[in-house]
């Protein structure tokens, strides 16, 4: 599988601190890829280097087969939604969309038809001639999405796309990302919200303090980091079952957890053996399942709480 | 369409479509003509007929001559005329009655010629309004003539003969230009210098600030980063300056067409604004001078627009930018402070030096070229110096712009600015 984006040993240093430190990652074409990390981890700096907004100090970037620093034309095939985003407030909605589309190389006529179609799709069909400032914040966010995707980019780069979105627009964002993927586009986005990433991403890269903590296919990461902890839930609680669960066993002890119980099996512990024991109970088992670690747990396990660093004050980033 | 053209087009269309463009197109000429014409109108106006009582306490019957002088028919149709009512009784008796009649608006005012007026040369005018310059100067002239004629008669001279001997000489002016002798009074030359310099001054400030606002709008509304992912900072700044600049040229073109149409009806304009009949003759520019003026405006606009762009990029809000605007405004205002000096001594040291400094050259040379012929060599040198400075300033401004548009938060210190220059 080819990569839509490849970073090899990329670094960025500002006066006083290292924003991105020897970062390498590969975003497979057609995937939804999440860059995760706490605020100030270097996510935005990384994306800005990809977009050639800031110049990297070291390393190689291959964006859709080209180096964006040498071949800026490749940036036209990218749709970028920065974390700091806004629109011309005094312009008409459709004019704003056409303007950004033209900057990406669309001709005026196509931009106009596409823009009208997108407005229709987003439920803003009647607002094309209105001024941006007349729109609600949520509507403006939709217009912002349109300006990012209107030129049918091969790669979408979204920096904290969900920040400031209401639940309805988060749905819109989700649909936009998923339909882009379905059309064969690659979506790369950054977030500090692990839950959101888990929901959408196939691949993730977790960074902290500018360094990569781990990356790979989300399924593989989960498999790697899952322990041998199992969860049991019962349809009903019988005396016999309670007695079984509260007494120690050779494989470990059950601990109550929420509605059910969890047991940490030692190395010798065989999940099959536990299942057969459970099958002998007079209560019916409704759930018996390996406990999968959440991304957040994996992150905390790898980085520790120390990495939830304070965000540095935003200064001029050269 | 290239990104540069897209940026230029947006700046142009959005601005020309805006209400402020229509308003400024209408108001700017009014402002310039207004600042020139209003004092003239205030000074001259106030025509119409006035009823004035004349109390003459002199033995020599000075009042007769005064009344005669006031009754002389005027050539200017707008000048005030007078109905003079002679009062026979002494002032002490008539005083209360006259005052009451003025209060009742039966009279506009009354002039008292005291018995010793020929010696003291002092008369008193009492009226509801004593601020009309035209009326006051008419009264002064009439009273002076009355008193003078008595004095001359007492000295044994004939008043009409003296008047003929001391008749003033009027100076007619004609400006000599490259194409030969042309009409154009001192006033019309001054008017031309005034219009060209002020127009340039207003346009540079107005459109320079437009560039600054445009930069700040993109910064404060967080549009910059979306933009620089599609356009380089260089073409973005250039597009902004060219876009705003094309609006300025478009506006000037509108005015130029209007003036050309009006110039065909010169007499109408001069009568309306109380200008001498040849006041607008100097508006017909020598083509070479016109071309040089356009070049100065063009380069001046680039110079100041680049400065304003950098200012906007370095600041984070319009209020903040306003505080620092003085640094840009001062060199721009300098020629206006010494405008009279420049217009009256277009080849003086001050005018020559300011004409060579790139930041003051546009307005200074606009004044100098309107006031008289300036050696072509000086103009060419000045333009070349400006051209070089435009590139230098644009280069520096571009660096500040490049970094500035993406920096948010507090404004940079001087040290940080220097680092921006080095880094970009």
Angle at B241 between CA B31 and CA B312, to 5 degrees: 85
> Which chain A residues in 131-170 lie under 8 Å from chain B, judged by CB atoms?
147
Q: Is it the case that residue A314 has pLDDT exceeding 60?
A: no
Q: Are residues A187 and A280 in the same domain?
A: no
Of these ranges, A60-64, A299-303, B152-156, the one predicted with the greatest mean pLDDT is A60-64
Structural domain containing residue B80: 49-165
Domain annotation covers residue A312: no
Q: Are residues B229 and B137 in the same domain?
A: no
Tell me, yes or no, if A82 comes closer than 8 A to chain B by beta carbon: yes
pLDDT band at A316 (very low <50, low <70, confident <90, very high): very low
* Per-residue model confidence (pLDDT) at position B39: 59
Identify whether residues A245 and A205 lie together within a single domain. Answer: no
Question: Which CATH number goes with the domain that contains A55?
Answer: 3.40.50.300
List, as one string, the DSSP characters of B338-371: THHHHHH-TTSHHHHHHHHSTTTHHHHHHHHHHH
pLDDT, tens digit (0-9, with 9 covering 90-100), for A139-150: 898 899 899 999
CA distances from B44 to B79, B80, B110, B172 (A): 8, 10, 22, 22
In a domain, A261, yes or no: yes
SS3 (DSSP) at B259 = helix
Which among B222, B231, B404 has CB closest to A84? B222
Residues A28/A203, Cβ–Cβ less than 8 Å: yes
Query: Residue A214: pLDDT above 70?
Result: yes
Q: Report if residue B316 sits inside a domain.
A: yes
Based on the domain organization, do B159 and B188 belong to the same domain? no
Identity of the highest mean pLDDT range in A53-67, A225-239, B183-197: A53-67
Count of structural domains within chain B = 2
In B189-320, DSSP assigns E strands to none
Same domain as A268, residue A147: no
Q: How far apart are CA B397 and CA B402, in angstroms?
A: 8
Strands B109-113 and B124-127: antiparallel
Same domain, B119 and B219: no
Phi, psi of A6 (to 5 degrees): -135, 125
Nearest CA in chain A to B232: A53
Contact B175, B282 (CB under 8 A): yes
Do residue A126 and residue A256 come from a single domain?
A: no
Specify the pLDDT at position A257: 81
ipTM surpassing 0.90, yes or no?
no
What ranges make up the beta strands (E) of B166-292? Answer: 175-177, 180-182
Place of tokens 């003239």: B40
Q: Of residues A163 and A136, which shows the higher confidence score?
A: A136
Q: Are strands A155-159 and A186-191 parallel, antiparallel or unpaired?
A: parallel
- Decide if A318 and B404 are in contact by the 8 Å CB cutoff: no
**Contact predicate A167/A141, CB 8 Å:** no
Nearest residue in A to B231, CA atom? A103
- Whether the CB of A305 is below 8 Å from some CB of chain B: the reply is no
Q: How far is CA B166 from CA B66, B148, B155, B160, B163, in A?
A: 20, 13, 17, 10, 5
CB A157 within 8 A of CB A116: no
In a domain, B211, yes or no: yes
Give, in order, the Cα–Cα distances in Å from B222 to each of A84, B101, B226, B384. 6, 72, 8, 38
The answer for residues whose C-beta is within 8 angstroms of residue B160's C-beta and 6 or more apart is none
Domain count, chain A: 2
Report the chain A residue with the minimal C-alpha distance to residue B417. Answer: A316
How high is the mean pLDDT in each 10-residue block of chain B (424 residues)? 88 90 85 67 62 86 85 74 84 86 87 87 84 81 86 82 78 60 57 79 89 89 86 88 92 84 65 57 66 89 91 84 85 86 84 90 88 85 93 88 75 72 65
Smallest CA–CA distance, residue A209 to chain B, in Å, is 21
Residues A202 and A254 in one domain: no
Torsion angles phi and psi, residue B210, rounded to 5: -60, -40
pTM (two decimals) = 0.72
Using DSSP, state whether B383 is helix, strand or coil: helix
Range of the domain at A246: 227-290
CB distance B6–A103 less than 8 Å? Answer: yes
């Amino acid at each position: 599988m080819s990569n839509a984006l490849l970073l090899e040993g990329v670094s960025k240093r500002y006066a006083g601190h290292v924003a991105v430190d020897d970062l390498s990652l590969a975003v497979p074409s057609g995937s939804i890829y999440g860059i995760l990390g706490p605020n100030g981890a270097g996510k935005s700096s990384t994306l800005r280097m990809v977009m050639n907004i800031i110049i990297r100090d070291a390393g190689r970037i291959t964006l859709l087969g080209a180096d964006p620093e040498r071949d800026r034309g490749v940036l036209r095939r990218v749709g970028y939604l920065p974390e700091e985003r806004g629109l011309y407030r005094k312009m008409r909605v459709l004019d704003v969309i056409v303007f950004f589309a033209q900057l990406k190389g669309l001709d005026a006529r196509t931009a106009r038809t596409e823009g009208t179609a997108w407005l229709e799709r987003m439920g803003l069909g009647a607002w094309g001639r209105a001024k941006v400032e007349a729109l609600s914040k949520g509507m403006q966010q939709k217009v912002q999405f349109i300006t990012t995707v209107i030129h049918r980019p091969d790669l979408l780069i979204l920096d904290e796309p969900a920040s400031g979105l209401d639940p309805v627009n988060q749905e819109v964002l989700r649909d936009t990302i998923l339909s882009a993927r379905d059309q064969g586009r690659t979506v790369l986005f950054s977030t500090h919200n692990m839950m959101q990433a888990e929901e959408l991403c196939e691949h993730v890269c977790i960074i902290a303090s500018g360094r990569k903590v781990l990356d790979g296919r989300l399924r593989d990461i989960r498999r790697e980091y899952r322990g041998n902890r199992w969860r049991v839930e019962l349809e009903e609680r019988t005396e016999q079952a309670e007695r079984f669960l509260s007494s120690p066993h050779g494989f470990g002890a059950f601990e109550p957890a929420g509605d059910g119980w969890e047991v940490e099996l030692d190395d010798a512990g065989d999940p099959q053996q536990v299942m057969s024991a459970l099958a002998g109970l007079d209560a019916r088992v409704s759930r018996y399942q390996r406990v999968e670690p959440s991304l957040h747990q994996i992150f905390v396990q790898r980085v520790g709480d120390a990495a939830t660093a304070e965000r540095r004050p935003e200064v001029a980033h050269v | 369409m290239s990104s540069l053209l897209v940026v230029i087009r947006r700046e142009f269309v959005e601005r020309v479509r805006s209400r402020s463009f229509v308003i400024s197109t209408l108001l700017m000429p009014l402002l310039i003509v207004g600042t020139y014409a209003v004092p003239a109108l205030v000074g001259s106006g106030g025509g119409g007929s006035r009823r004035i009582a004349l109390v003459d306490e002199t033995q020599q019957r000075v009042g007769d001559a005064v009344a005669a002088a006031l009754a002389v028919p005027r050539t200017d149709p707008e000048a005030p005329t007078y109905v003079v009512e002679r009062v026979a009784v002494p002032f002490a008796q008539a005083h209360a009655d006259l005052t009451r009649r003025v209060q009742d608006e039966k009279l506009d005012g009354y002039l008292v010629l005291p018995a010793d007026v020929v010696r003291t040369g002092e008369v008193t005018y009492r009226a509801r309004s004593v601020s009309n310059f035209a009326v006051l100067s008419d009264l002064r002239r009439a009273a002076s003539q009355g008193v003078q004629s008595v004095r001359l008669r007492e000295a044994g001279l004939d008043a009409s003969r003296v008047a003929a001997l001391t008749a003033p000489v009027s100076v007619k002016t004609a400006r000599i230009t490259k194409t030969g002798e042309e009409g154009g009074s001192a006033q019309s030359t001054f008017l031309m210098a005034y219009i060209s310099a002020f127009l340039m001054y207003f346009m540079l400030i107005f459109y320079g600030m437009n560039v600054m606002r445009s930069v700040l709008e993109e910064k404060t509304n967080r549009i910059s980063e979306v933009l620089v992912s599609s356009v380089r900072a260089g073409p973005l700044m250039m597009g902004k300056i060219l876009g705003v600049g094309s609006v300025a040229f478009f506006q000037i073109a509108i005015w130029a067409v209007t003036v050309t149409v009006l110039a065909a009806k010169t007499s109408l304009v001069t009568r309306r604004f109380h200008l001498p009949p040849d006041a607008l003759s100097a508006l017909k520019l020598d083509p070479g001078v016109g071309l040089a003026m356009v070049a100065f405006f063009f380069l001046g606009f680039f110079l100041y627009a680049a400065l304003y762009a950098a200012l906007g990029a370095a600041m984070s809000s319009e209020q903040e930018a306003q505080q620092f605007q003085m640094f840009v405004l001062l060199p721009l205002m300098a020629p206006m402070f010494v405008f009279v000096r420049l217009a009256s001594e277009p080849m003086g040291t001050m005018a020559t030096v300011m004409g060579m400094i790139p930041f003051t050259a546009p307005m200074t040379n606009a004044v100098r070229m309107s006031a008289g012929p300036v050696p072509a060599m000086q103009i060419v040198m000045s333009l070349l110096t400006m051209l070089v400075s435009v590139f230098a300033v644009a280069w520096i401004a571009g660096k500040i712009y490049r970094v500035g548009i993406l920096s948010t938060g507090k404004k940079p210190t001087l040290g940080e600015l220097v680092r921006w220059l080095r880094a970009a």
